[in-house]
Amino acid sequence: MAKSSSSFQVIRCYGDLVENARLNFSNLYLRRIISGPSANQLEIIRGDNSTRLGQTAVNNWALYDGVGPDAEVVAHAKGMHMNAAGWYISFTMVFQNERFKESALEVMGVMAKKQGEWAIVGGTGAFSMARGVIERKFHSDITNGEMQELNIDAFCRMKNIELPAPTKVGPWGTTGGSLQEIEGKPQRLETVTIWSGSNVDGISFTYIGEDGQVHTAGRWGDDFHYSTSTIKFGPSEFVKEISVATLDDYIVELLIITDVATYGPYGARRNQPANRYTAPADKTIVGFFVNSDRHIRSIGLYAA
């Protein structure tokens, strides 16, 4: 089976009135085959003989999770496009991969240049009431047609679907102290506070749980009256990596990396090798667990 290059990230977003989800689907590849035995569009109205105004075709374009011969179909763009002094497009993007099977996005826009945007004006199934934008750009010519790269950024109303349990990764360090962890299904890190000097001796953080509320974990460890640093992540900022260095029974360096910035290092590494974790494209780091007494003896993370 081919390794997919696509990413299907769904992030819960919480407002005052409605719980929503943000869709970040990247690296989808639309294959438009104009003619030949594998054509996935058909002209039904020829249009004006001189200007082609009114020329109309129906389409069933396939969207793939990659560009290679082993890429798999994840959706079809079912609709039509017509010449209105430039191509106007209206279609339903029906997903067929297991996670979003039979869910659909309603899409409309124009396709007059090699790149541009289409509007998402609705959705059904997992994408109920969707609204957003599809960024598209020409990728390459293919036999009897072309391939376009699509990236979807949209919001929708999330139905009562079961959220996957976060994955525990790590810990790094020793097993001294007591295990400190969180329950439930954390969805997003909001803040992290770190107490550090020569070591990372204390940590606390806030996160959004599956109930949409902000929860606080910690302080785990102690402050020792050392330096205190609090990171407050932006509304569209997500933690993607951490780097942890250990020495004997201590965490001597912690580095937190988001899709926007790098925070730290906290502690004093003292030339120790670091353990680095990078979340997969469709996940983010949403919380931590530790073994601690008066010091942080080991640290691990939750990815979701």
The 3-state secondary structure of the chain, one letter per residue: CCCCCCEEEEEEEECCCCEEEEEEEEEEEEEEECCCCCCCEEEEECCCCCCCCCCEEEEEEEEECCCCCCCCEEEEEEEEEEECCCEEEEEEEEECCHHHCCCEEEEEEECCCCEEEEEEEEEEHHHCCCEEEEEEEEEEEECCEEEEEEEEEEEEECCCCCCCCCEEEEEEECCCCEEECCCCCCCEEEEEEEEECCCEEEEEEEEECCCCCEEEEEEEECCCCCEEEEEECCCCCCEEEEEEEEECCEEEEEEEEECCCEEEEEECCCCCCEEEEECCCCCCEEEEEEEECCCEEEEEEEEC
pLDDT of residue 1: 44
pLDDT tens profile 78-109 = 999 999 989 999 999 999 988 888 899 999 99
277, 290, 284, 267: which is closest to 199 by C-alpha?
A: 267
In this predicted structure, the answer to whether residue 3 has a pLDDT above a threshold of 80 is: no
Q: What is the distance between the alpha carbons of residues 48 and 53, in angstroms, rounded to a whole number?
A: 5
Lowest mean pLDDT among 8-17, 24-33, 55-64: 8-17
pLDDT tens profile 247-273 = 988 999 999 999 999 999 999 877 888
What is the arithmetic mean of pLDDT over 48-62?
Answer: 96
pLDDT tens profile 147-181 = 999 999 998 887 655 667 899 999 999 988 899 99
27, 39, 96: which is closest to 68 by C-alpha?
A: 27
pLDDT of residue 23: 87
Answer with the residue of higher pLDDT: 232 or 223.
232
27, 16, 24, 57: which is closest to 40 by C-alpha?
A: 57
pTM beyond cutoff 0.75 = no
In this predicted structure, the answer to whether residue 282 has a pLDDT above a threshold of 50 is: yes
pLDDT of residue 12: 60
Mean pLDDT for all residues in the chain? 89
For residue 15, what pLDDT band results from cuts at 50, 70 and 90?
A: very low
What percentage of the chain reaches a pLDDT higher than 70? 92
Q: Which residues face 302 on adjacent strands?
A: 168, 287
What ranges do the domains of the chain cover?
Answer: 20-157, 167-303
Q: What is the distance between the alpha carbons of residues 40 and 180, in angstroms, rounded to a whole number?
A: 55
Measured at the alpha carbon of residue 245, what is the angle toward residues 218 and 262, in degrees to the nearest 5?
Answer: 75
In this predicted structure, the answer to whether residue 192 has a pLDDT above a threshold of 80 is: yes
Which residues make Cβ contacts (< 8 Å) with residue 170, sequence separation at least 6?
A: 244, 275, 277, 289, 298, 299, 300, 301
pLDDT of residue 242: 97
Which residues make Cβ contacts (< 8 Å) with residue 235, sequence separation at least 6?
A: none
Which residues make Cβ contacts (< 8 Å) with residue 68, sequence separation at least 6?
A: 2
pLDDT of residue 232: 96
What is the arithmetic mean of pLDDT over 281-288?
Answer: 90
In this predicted structure, the answer to whether residue 222 has a pLDDT above a threshold of 50 is: yes
Q: What is the distance between the alpha carbons of residues 280 and 67, in angstroms, rounded to a whole number?
A: 20
Instruction: Give me the CATH topology for the region 20-157.
Output: AOC barrel-like (2.40.480)
Token pair 């990659």: residue:
66
In b/e form, how buried is each residue of 79-114, taking b as 16+ CB within 10 angstroms?
Answer: bbbbbeeeebbebbbbbebeebeebbbbbebbbeee
pLDDT of residue 225: 65
**How do beta strands 7-14 and 19-33 pair?**
antiparallel
pLDDT tens profile 225-248 = 678 999 999 887 899 999 999 998
Answer with the residue of higher pLDDT: 9 or 94.
94
167-303 and 20-157 share a CATH fold: no
In this predicted structure, the answer to whether residue 296 has a pLDDT above a threshold of 90 is: yes
Q: Of the CATH numbers 3.40.190.100, 2.30.30.180, 3.40.50.740, 2.100.10.30, which one belongs to the domain with range 167-303?
A: 2.100.10.30
pLDDT of residue 219: 93
